[in-house]
Every structure is written in C-alpha cells, then in structure tokens.
Structure 1
Amino acid sequence: MGEARSSRIDCLDGLRALAAIWVLIGHSLLLTGWRIPILVEPDLGVDLFIMLSGFLMAFHYYLRQDQEPWQQPETWLKFWIRRYFRIAPLFYVMLFVALALGPYLYGSRMVIDEFLLRSPQAAERYLDSSMKNIGAHLVFLFGLVPSFAYRTPLPDWSLGLEMQFYAAFPVIMLLVRRIDWVWSAILIGTIGSAIVFAMKLLSIHFPMPSFLALKMQIFLCGMLLAGVVHRRHPRPFLYLSLAMLLAALPFGGPYGLGKVLIREALVLGFFALVLYRMLPGIAGLVASKIAMTLANKFFHLMGELSFSIYLIHLLVLQPVAAFVITEFGHDLSAPLRFTIVVAVVLPTVCMLSWITYTFIEIPGQKMGRFVVQRFGPRPAAEGKSKRLTT
C-alpha cells in the first residue's frame, strides 16, 4: 500500500487548513448573526481537528515503532516531549496575550451579545487572571476541572483535551498491540461511554467537552483509519463501520440528527481522502483528485499555520465584529456584516499566524527535537570512537 510506506500523507495538511478555516468562519457567522448551514457549526471543525490528531498520532506510532519500541517508557517520554513542545510555546504566549487583552475582549463580546440579543458571556472567562487559573493552564490540567475548562478568551478547551489524549496514548497503543484495533476501540469506547454516563449521574457538567471521555470516540475514529493504512491485511470497511458507530455516540457536544449526519460525513470523507486507492472506479478517482488538491503548496502552508490560526482568530474576530456592529449596527444586513468582518479578519489572522509560526512554533519544535535527542541512545560507533580517544 503506497501510503503505508510513506512518512507523509499530504492531504492531511489540507484537512488541517480546512478545519482551521471552518472554525474561523463558524465563529464569524455566530458573532455577526448570519447562519449558513454546516459552516455555522465551528464545533464540527474542531471534531475534524480531533480526528486528524487521532490519525496522526497512530500513523506516526507505526512509522517510529522500529526505532522507538513502545514497550519502553523512554519512548513514551520522547513522545510526550515532542507533543509538549509542539503545543506549549505558542499556547503560553497566546495565553498571556489573551489574559492581558481580557477586559478589552470582554467589552467587545458584550457589544456583540447585546446586539444579537444573546445571553452575555460569563465575565470570568475574560477577566480571571488568578494564579489558580493561570497555573491550571500552564500545566494543562484545566480541561479536567469544569470551573477552569472554559476560562480564558482563547478556544483552548480543546488543547487541554488534546493533552489528555497524549497522556493516554501510549497505554492505548499497548492495548492495541495486545488485543488488536477493533476490540481495543470497542473497549475504550465502552469505558468512555460509562464514564460519561457516571458523570451525568453525579451531575458533573463541563461547559465545553474538554474532558477526554467526552471526545475519545472522535479520536478513535482517526486512529482506526490509521490502523487501516498500516495493516498488511486490512479490513477497511469493518474499521470504517466501527468509526461511524463511534462518531454517532450522543455526547461530547450538541447532538441532533443533523449533527450526527455531518459527523458521519466527516468520517466518510476522511476515509475516502486518506484511503482513496481502496475505492473503486469513479469514487476513487474523484477522491484522489481532491486529495491531490489538498496537498498543493497553498494548502500545505495553510496547514502549517492551522494551529496559530485556531489560537489567534478569536482575539482578532471579536474586536472587529464589535467595531462593525458599533459603527453600522442594523444598517448592514447580516450577510454583508459577515462579509466585511471576514474580509478583515481572515488576512489579518493569516499574517499574524505566519509570524507566530515562524518565530514561535518552529523554534519550539526545534527545541523539542533537541530535548528528545538528549534522551536518545548514543550510536554504538560514536560510543566506541569516544572510548578510543579518551
């Protein structure tokens, strides 16, 4: 299988870009009072990010398993270091920027909510600069505590969720090695569902699905498809069917028939783009063309910027939307208001994202690789050479 031998599936860059733009457009629609079906649901864009994360972690696990055996705790440490330095540097910078801008952003959001006749946002989400809140975010434990899970101006609840997934990932993959993909996914999905049910009985409510059990089923969807890529004798449609069942579990965010159908479409589309060689006839041809388009230079760049776009966009979007509302109010129709806001926000966010990617994300990733190398075993030849020269 061509993808199994490759260290990169290029259409994933395009999917990351689409997920980031979906979240930005969805929030722009919500904050300007216009509705476009599907696009107005930014949480579905986050689900696509989560599915991509599950796929990529499992995909790279297979690529590195010969050099970094997952039975060794040293491999787990390397994995956690890589993921920490992928997320933490930019997040820490944006966290302090967001907290510094908190009062200004809160004022902007009050203008928007009052204009759209919505319940105002909780003030503590924008104004809580306490050491407890900052500390919970610095150690990425905020997603485990309902009172801290949604307490900054950033859409960072998903980062706490992501870090929980990284913490659990080595154990999940050891389970997969022992009892295979299908039974592992069923077991983990069952455990997650039981935990969610217990939370309901105990009246534990998270303002956003920042607790891993609430979204583990979406991570599993991506992981199952990565399992298909790397198996010598795959059962692709069994894995796809199980992924679709997991995506239909009725928790982890707003649910209704429309949401379920869109999540099912996300799983199907992901499967088609990553595994298009398995599709027959015209379906495989169309999927391959779309996958190749998502692999072009533009989508590659936007995929690289996707994390920055995701973290930065609300810091720009809310003040711009509030300004347009203050200046023009009801003189503009909702579609025109949305168009003006996006025309300002999208290029501004992309420019800022390029800056943060270049000067924060890339150096952070290099630092992560440097730290990982410090934990790596010294090559035998190098060790021998050093012994001869001492």
Structure 2
Amino acid sequence: MGMGRVDTRRVECLDGLRGLAALWVLIGHMMILTGFRLPLVSKPDLGVDLFILLSGFLMVFQYQLRADREDWSAPGTWTAFWTRRFFRLAPLFYVTLAVALIAGPAIYESRAAIDSFMGQALQPRERYADSSFANVAVHVSFVFGLLPGYAFRTPLPDWSLGLEMQFYALFPFLVLLARRTGWVPAALIAGGVGAVAALAVTAAGLDYPMPSFLPLKLHLFLCGMLIAADPGRGRRIWLHLAAAVLLAAIPIGGDQDLLHFAVRELLVLGFFALVHLRTLGAVERVARLLGSRPFYWLGELSYGSYLIHLLILQPVAAAVISRFGTGLGAIERFALTGMIVVPVTYGLAYVTYRLVELPGQRLGKAVIRRATGNATRSRQTVPEELAAP
C-alpha cells in the first residue's frame, strides 16, 4: 500500500476540495431558499465542516514548510502569522460587509418573501438590517463570533470567519503544545478542553445561533491538523488517523444526527486518503483531477464565492418566486435561480479576487517585510486559502 508523505511542496487535491466546499455551500443554500432538496447536498453546514478540516490542515502544512526559517518560540513569528491571516481574510470581508450592511434592509425583504412563500417562520429583521455602531464594530474587529447576539447578524455567512479568526489566534499555542507533547497528545488535550468549554457554555445558557464559538468546532480543526502533521518514520500516521476519527466523533457543534456523524467521518477518511494514500491508482486519479486547472480556479474563487453568494441568491430567489409563484415547481425554481446566481457569483468572485484579494495579500506581505526588515520575498508554495467558509 503506497504512502504519500506530506512533505511535498504542494498537495494537489486542496484546490479542488476548497472549491467543492464553497460550491457545496452555495448549492445547499440555493436548495434551502428554493424548496428543492436532495439528500446530503442540501446540507451546506457540511461544506463548512470541510472548509474547517482544510483550514486546520493548511495551517500545520504551512507551519512545517516554514519551520526551518521561522522560530515559533518567538512572538515575532506569531505576529507575522496573524498578519498573513488577517490580510488573507479581512480585505474582501470588509468590502462585502459594507455591501451587506447597506443592502441589508432590501435583502431582508427578499428573505421575508421567500420565507412567507415557503411557509417558514420569518427571520428576525435585525438579523439582516442591523447597521448599529456596535454591530459594525464587533464585525470589523472579528470578535463577533464570540458573542451569541452578534455571531449571526449580517446577510453574509460570516459566522465562520469569526470562528476562523479564533482558530488563528489559538494556533501558535497549539503549535507550542504539540512541540512539547507531540501532535496526537496535543490534539487530544486541546479537543478535550474544547469539549469541556463547549459544554460549560451550553450549561451557562449561552445559545449560539451558529457554531461560531471555537470550542464548538475546534475538534474538526484538530482533525485537519493531525492529517497534515508529520508523524516521523514508521506507521505512526495511522495513530494520527485514529485520533482524527475519534475527534470527529465528538458530538458538539451543529447537527448531530446520523447523517452528519457519518459524513464528517467520511470527510476525515477521504481527505486522509487523498493526502497520504495518493500513490494508489484510484486515489491518485481523483487527486490529480482535483488539482487540475478548472478545479484550481474553482479553489481560487472559493473565498469570494462563499462570501458573495447570499448577497445575490436571496434577491434572485425572491424575484423568481415573485414572478412565477406556484407556477414553477421546486426543481424548476432551483434551476432557474441557479442559472442566474452561479455565473453572477463566480463572475463577481473573479473580479474581487483580482481587485481585492490579491492586492490585500500583497499588502500583508509588505507589512510583514517592513515589520521584520526582511525585503526578501519568500516563494508562495501553498495558497493562503480559507477553509470558511
């Protein structure tokens, strides 16, 4: 059985997986808002779980690539890491946040029309139309994910970005713990502490509308970290897999029915195979496909499509309902909505990728170079992608 070690300069399946995760979220939301459901595909939260798994993997993968030139016992290394991640997420988020706050009342009217047509309870108006200073401040500072009253309070699917930023804040400490104890003990310790914290928050009566508080999803980040972490020689990689499977089974953070449990485990097992067993025939073919040029671009546009799609989807779905009503069945409503939403979303994602994301990443690198006094540009070997969606 061929084993592919995670010491190469690129893991080819990442492009396709992050692209598919974003597409999964888009299609899942489109199904929810048009009334057409298919098993599994109509669960966009599982697409976010895949993003989380990839994010944990990427942070450790990049840490290992830079380990020979970065001292993780030095706070300056932490600052550079946090700066890179901030400039990866913040520029496009701030642009879409501004649009969402301005268009919020109109988007709420669209959502109210959809909910009324579907016979569902109306969303709270403040969920879409809160442009208060407090709401703006907690979103600009990325602390909104910690606050149940603000964690899900814009038209964007941005709760996962608050979650992601909490993971980045914790990541250097997870690295230091892993360097002291090893990756598997560190992951099990962190997963146990996270589970206790999640249960304590629930016992305290804090109700998060989405799992935006890091302890609710830390175990999935840890799964990705274990898959990336180099276990050294021998067969200890299987111990990493066993620990990841165990962590993925922790029943916290989102829906816990049998489908969600099984899919989360399959995501861990499938991603492990694509990374560590990619020399096998069938696995290698899938990995190469996911690294092909179309999937590369699907991956590059994943962050933009994730942030933008609900801004387009809700008005378009409401317009289709207003125009055709019950004259269209659910599948026709889904298809017509998708014909408009998908190309517009990815078109805007491409434009913002060129005009916002790439300049933002360049600015972040310039800030780091100036702060460290190092004018040497390190080669970018792995995309600084979200796993958030």
Tell me if both proteins adopt one fold, taking TM over 0.5 as the criterion: yes
Q: Kindly state the Cα deviation for residue 124 of structure 1 after the two structures are TM-superposed.
A: 0.6
Task: Compute the TM-score of the two structures, normalised by the length of structure 2.
Answer: 0.94
Residue 178 of structure 2: aligned partner: 176
Post-superposition Cα deviations, 1:74-123, rounded to whole Å, max 9, x if no partner, equal 10000000000000000001000001100110000001000111111111
Post-superposition Cα deviations, 1:266-303, rounded to whole Å, max 9, x if no partner, equal 1111111111247xxxxx21111000000011111110
Residue 195 of structure 2: aligned partner: 193
Residue 86 of structure 1: aligned partner: 88
Letter in structure 2 aligned against 1:235: R
Residue 129 of structure 2: aligned partner: 127
Distance 1:89 1:75, change over 3 A: same
Match of 2:319 among 303, 319, 323: 323
**Structure 2: how far apart are the matches of 1:31 and 1:17?**
21
Letter in structure 2 aligned against 1:364: G
Distance 1:251 1:26, change over 3 A: same
Letter in structure 2 aligned against 1:270: F
Distance 1:21 1:277, change over 3 A: closer
Residue 147 of structure 2: aligned partner: 145
| Residues 4, 275 of structure 2: 8 Å contact kept | no
1:359 aligns with 2:349: no
Q: Kindly state the Cα deviation for residue 65 of structure 1 after the two structures are TM-superposed.
A: 1.1
Letter in structure 2 aligned against 1:93: V
Number of aligned residues: 374
Which has the higher mean CA deviation after the structures are superposed, 193-202 or 152-161?
Answer: 193-202
Structure of larger gyration radius: 1
| Residues 209, 252 of structure 1: 8 Å contact kept | yes
Match of 2:48 among 40, 46, 49: 46
Unaligned residue ranges in structure 1 (runs of 5+): 279-283, 381-390
Which has the higher mean CA deviation after the structures are superposed, 17-26 or 284-293?
Answer: 284-293
Structure showing greater relative contact order (alpha-carbon pairs closer than 8 Å, 6 or more residues apart): 2
**Structure 1: how far apart are the matches of 2:255 and 2:333?**
26
Residue 98 of structure 1: aligned partner: 100
| Residues 114, 321 of structure 2: 8 Å contact kept | yes
Match of 1:66 among 65, 68, 72: 68
**Structure 1: how far apart are the matches of 2:90 and 2:374?**
28
Residue 107 of structure 1: aligned partner: 109
Task: Compute the TM-score of the two structures, normalised by the length of structure 1.
Answer: 0.93
Distance 1:317 1:252, change over 3 A: same
Match of 1:349 among 335, 345, 359: 345
1:161 aligns with 2:160: no
| Residues 4, 277 of structure 2: 8 Å contact kept | no
Coordinate RMSD, CA, aligned: 1.4
Letter in structure 2 aligned against 1:103: P
Unaligned residue ranges in structure 2 (runs of 5+): 377-389
Q: Kindly state the Cα deviation for residue 7 of structure 1 after the two structures are TM-superposed.
A: 2.1
Residue 271 of structure 1: aligned partner: 272
**Structure 1: how far apart are the matches of 2:196 and 2:5?**
35
Q: Kindly state the Cα deviation for residue 375 of structure 1 after the two structures are TM-superposed.
A: 2.5
Q: Kindly state the Cα deviation for residue 187 of structure 1 after the two structures are TM-superposed.
A: 0.5
**Structure 1: how far apart are the matches of 2:375 and 2:45?**
46
Letter in structure 2 aligned against 1:217: H
| Residues 248, 264 of structure 2: 8 Å contact kept | yes
**Structure 2: how far apart are the matches of 1:205 and 1:232?**
44
From the two aligned structures, give the one with the greater helix fraction. Answer: 1
Residue 335 of structure 1: aligned partner: 331
Post-superposition Cα deviations, 1:317-370, rounded to whole Å, max 9, x if no partner, equal 001110111111111111111111111111110100000000000000000111
**Structure 2: how far apart are the matches of 1:197 and 1:225?**
26
Match of 2:204 among 197, 202, 205: 202
